[in-house]
Amino acid sequence: MKSDGRKSFDADEIRADFPILSTILHASPGKSGVPLAYLDNAATTQRPRQVIQAIVDTYEKHYANVHRGFTG
């Protein structure tokens, strides 16, 4: 925590929220590899785990075609 009460930036904590950033590249027997570095661009962006889970939750529990099949 900083002296003004703000939390310090923890890159590892932020990386943990993005599943793709746990990818290790160029690993082989006897060689540990390097973590994936992702640089954002205008074409796409990565989503944190919380957003991915919210999308899954929506698809699994909240979408329905109410009355669409009812012809009564």
Of the candidates 41, 61, 45, the one whose C-alpha atom is nearest the C-alpha of residue 53 is 61
pLDDT tens column, 16-68: 998 888 899 998 899 899 988 877 777 778 889 999 999 999 999 887 776 66
Provide the 3-class DSSP secondary structure of residue 12. Answer: helix
Question: CA dist 1 to 6, 8, 38, 69, Å?
Answer: 6, 5, 27, 56
Tell me whether strands 24-25 and 34-35 are parallel, antiparallel or unpaired. antiparallel
Taking CA 31 as the corner, what is the angle to CA 28 and CA 37, rounded to the nearest 5 degrees? 85
pTM for the whole structure: 0.58
